[in-house]
Amino acid sequence: MPMTITEKILAAHSGHDEVHPGQFVMAKLDLMLGNDITAPIAIDEFRKTGAAKVIDSARIVLVADHSTPNKDIKSAEQCRLMREFSLEQGVEHFFDVGRGGVEHALLPEEGLVAPGECIIGADSHTCTYGALGAFATGVGSTDLAVAMATGECWMRVPESIKVVYRGRLKPWVGGKDLILYTIGQMGVAGATYQSLELCGDTIESLPMSDRLTMCNMAIEAGGKNGIIAPDAITDNYMKSVTKRPYRTLASDSDAVYVRVMEIDASKIELQVSTPHLPENAKPVSAVRDVVIDQSVIGSCTNGRIEDLRMAAKILKGRRAHPRVRLIVIPATQRVHLQAIREGLGEIFIEAGGAFSTPTCGPCLGGHMGILAKGERAVATTNRNFVGRMGHPESEVYLAGPAVAAASAVLGRIASPEELS
Amino acid sequence: MSTLRGKVHRYGDHVNTDVIIPARYLNTSDVAELAAHCMEDIDPTFVSTVKAGDVIVGGGNFGCGSSREHAPLAIKGAGVSCVIARSFARIFFRNAINVGLPVLVCPDAAADAKSGDELAADLTTGKIENVTQGTSYQAEPFPEFLQQIIAAGGLVEYTRKRLVA
């Protein structure tokens, strides 16, 4: 039976020669992830399973990234619980403040995720790792708890949607614009329970950082995972982060899809998703009158060095609009250091921006950039739900780093083309 | 499992986990604290009006967004006996099954129900009755694998039995 790449990975991890959509399988996991919000519940539930030791301390990753550096006493207690559990269980990959960063930017750069692997994370954006050709999906804390005890997770094999992108991208347009446009086309529930397989010549020439951005937001279409077949770009990326072997798989040419979408990527403009759903994607030109109070550049979606370079290119020699608070947050320690070495930090600070340590903080309305009632932000993050970045009457406009940087300068939503 | 009965709290499509339990309250895992802020950003009156046994009815894609299990835990902690929706987002759906919050997929019951209606639901058969409107519905059955988890009382209990066996 022909299979998609997702079906092949799930079959290989559940002891089956083949699997079909709708089938329930127990998948053996290569890696399982939790953070300071989801791991504390997972640790409590793990104790209730009756297991004394985790199944494999090398396959567990715990990252203190959401409310860190600890924003209050309760958050500090959550992090301590995770730190103590890591010590007790000998968890090899515990990333504390100052040693890690935002989980989904961190794990790829640490070489902890690889093509062909089966990964769960108690965080919805775990689907990011599909950019490397892995099956990766977000689950809850109880799933993580049970996975830590058994090494397995129950899965319903998803149907697959193939999205084919063709053509050369316009200037400044990147992975964020492609995925916002796609979510705009299919809706926030357009891929519910399904796999989003991204391909076509646009994807084949797309750098890994943009691929990670795209797969990161598969969940915003309701998808179980996003996935891109490994190629030379994947191999080059993997070579730069790890020496360990991995398995390269691809969908069969006659694999079955519930839907095939063709997108002419050459026509896609810079995109902005207006409040309060990521599916409200519009060309930047349609929303350029929107005045903003804050611009956030960072997160697991767009906090990689390539994103910061793009923002710096626009902000170099310019100042953020006096009314706008510009907040630039490199996603990991490594990205932060690289940004300093390349002089990007200087550019952001000279532009009147706050340039800070890695954290998920503002993306989820945790800390480090909360919006007051009626305030509006443009953000390179992934969700613009009601109250996502602060007060329930504040607003988030999602965009890529080029639009976020240009908007910071002009004080309203803007394209970099509008800058002199 | 038995018949549950309660008043409807009706919401629309795409009720996301950020409005079910805003991230500013995620610095705790305490269910009572989470329940005290349940639905705060979509319905500030929910916590003061909800009574034990009440039913949340949603439209499509209920529970979309973050993977936070705090969302079904907050709903369960607030005393809600069951969530009925046209459809559920997948992580919320599996979290609800895993933590033992009853969820039923029933587009017709979800479409007809109004806030304040009295509903009765039999979780074993999937029969839903809108007592106020005098109408009855059949929820979609759960796949057999999920029925095993539900019957065990959640994923942890299901796993504990597997580990002992």
Tens digit of each residue's pLDDT (9 = 90 or more) over A244-292 = 999 999 999 999 999 999 999 999 999 999 999 999 999 999 999 999 9
Among the ranges given (A171-180, A382-391, B54-63, B137-146), the one the predictor scored with the smallest mean pLDDT: B137-146
Q: Which residues of A touch B66 (CB under 8 A)?
A: 123-124, 364, 383
Q: Which of B:45-84 have CB within 8 Å of A?
A: 60-61, 64-70, 73
Q: Domains in chain A and their CATH numbers?
A: 5-263 (3.30.499.10), 271-418 (3.30.499.10)
Element (H, E) at B152: helix B144-152
At residue B59, the 3 state secondary structure works out as coil
In the predicted structure, residue B1 carries a pLDDT above the cut 60: no
Kindly state the average pLDDT of the residues A87-102.
98
Q: Which residues of B touch A365 (CB under 8 A)?
A: 18, 22-24
At residue A29, the 3 state secondary structure works out as coil
CB within 8 A of A374, min separation 6: which ones?
A: A391, A393, A394
- Whether B155 sits inside 8 A of A365 (CB atoms) is no
Q: Which residues of B touch A67 (CB under 8 A)?
A: 26-27
Tens digit of each residue's pLDDT (9 = 90 or more) over B100-122 = 999 999 999 999 999 999 999 99
Kindly state the average pLDDT of the residues A50-71.
97
Kindly state the average pLDDT of the residues A345-366.
98
**DSSP3 helix / strand / coil % (chain B, rounded to 5):** 35, 20, 40
User: Distance between terminal CA atoms of chain A?
Assistant: 57
Percent of chain A beyond pLDDT 90?
100
Kindly state the average pLDDT of the residues B60-78.
97
User: Which of B73, B62, B82 lies closest to B25, judged by CA?
Assistant: B73
In the predicted structure, residue A323 carries a pLDDT above the cut 80: yes
Q: Using an 8 Å Cβ cutoff, are A284 and A270 in contact?
A: yes
Confidence of residue A420 (pLDDT cuts 50, 70, 90): confident
Q: Which two tokens stand for residue B130?
A: 């809108």
- Whether A385 sits inside 8 A of B94 (CB atoms) is no
- Whether B29 sits inside 8 A of A224 (CB atoms) is no
* Nearest chain B residue (CA) to A394: B41
- Cross-chain CB nearest to A222 (options B26, B64, B73): B64
- Cross-chain CB nearest to B27 (options A48, A74, A149): A74
Tens digit of each residue's pLDDT (9 = 90 or more) over A282-320 = 999 999 999 999 999 999 999 999 999 999 999 999 999
The number of beta carbons lying within 10 Å of the beta carbon of residue A77 is: 15
Look over chain A and give the mean of its residue pLDDT values, rounded to a whole number. Answer: 98
- How far lies A29's CA from each of A37, A43, A148, A200, A418, in Å? 21, 18, 10, 29, 48
Tens digit of each residue's pLDDT (9 = 90 or more) over A159-178 = 999 999 999 999 999 999 99
Kindly state the average pLDDT of the residues A106-122.
98
List phi, psi (to 5°) of A412: -150, 165
This model's pTM is above 0.90 = yes
Q: Using an 8 Å Cβ cutoff, are A116 and A249 in contact?
A: yes
* Nearest chain B residue (CA) to A367: B24
Q: Looking at residue B2, what is its pLDDT?
A: 61
In the predicted structure, residue A242 carries a pLDDT above the cut 80: yes
Residues A139-154 as b/e (b if ≥16 CB within 10 A, e otherwise) read bbbbbbbbbbbbbbbb
- Whether A41 sits inside 8 A of B29 (CB atoms) is yes
Tens digit of each residue's pLDDT (9 = 90 or more) over A17-26 = 999 999 999 9
User: Which of A129, A140, A85 lies closest to A103, judged by CA?
Assistant: A129
Count A/B contacts: CB-CB distance under 8 Å. 141
Q: What is the ipTM of this complex?
A: 0.96
- Whether B163 sits inside 8 A of A50 (CB atoms) is yes
- Whether A38 sits inside 8 A of B67 (CB atoms) is yes
* Nearest chain A residue (CA) to B73: A41
- How far lies A287's CA from each of A108, A310, B158, in Å? 34, 21, 51
Residues A170-208 as b/e (b if ≥16 CB within 10 A, e otherwise) read eebbbbbbbbbbbbbebbbbbbbbbbbbbbbebbeebeb
CA A108, B23, B71, A374 dihedral sign is negative
User: Which of A378, A381, A265 lies closest to A320, judged by CA?
Assistant: A378
Tens digit of each residue's pLDDT (9 = 90 or more) over A128-146 = 999 999 999 999 999 999 9
Confidence of residue B3 (pLDDT cuts 50, 70, 90): confident
Closest Cα of chain B to A140: distance in Å?
5
Kindly state the average pLDDT of the residues A68-92.
98
Task: For helices A305-315 and A208-216, give the axis angle rounded to 10 degrees.
Answer: 100
Confidence of residue A76 (pLDDT cuts 50, 70, 90): very high
At residue B34, the 3 state secondary structure works out as helix
DSSP A173-215: --HHHHHHHHHHHH-TTTTTTSEEEEESHHHHTS-HHHHHHHH
Quote the CA–CA distance of B99 and A141 in Å, as a whole number: 10
Calculate the CA dihedral of residues A90, A92, A94, A98 and round it to 10 degrees: 120
The answer as to CATH 1.25.40.10 being correct for domain B3-164 is no
Kindly state the average pLDDT of the residues B82-86.
98
In the predicted structure, residue A224 carries a pLDDT above the cut 70: yes
- How far lies A182's CA from each of A82, A179, A371, A393, B136, in Å? 37, 5, 28, 27, 39
In the predicted structure, residue B8 carries a pLDDT above the cut 60: yes
Confidence of residue A97 (pLDDT cuts 50, 70, 90): very high
Q: Looking at residue B164, what is its pLDDT?
A: 81
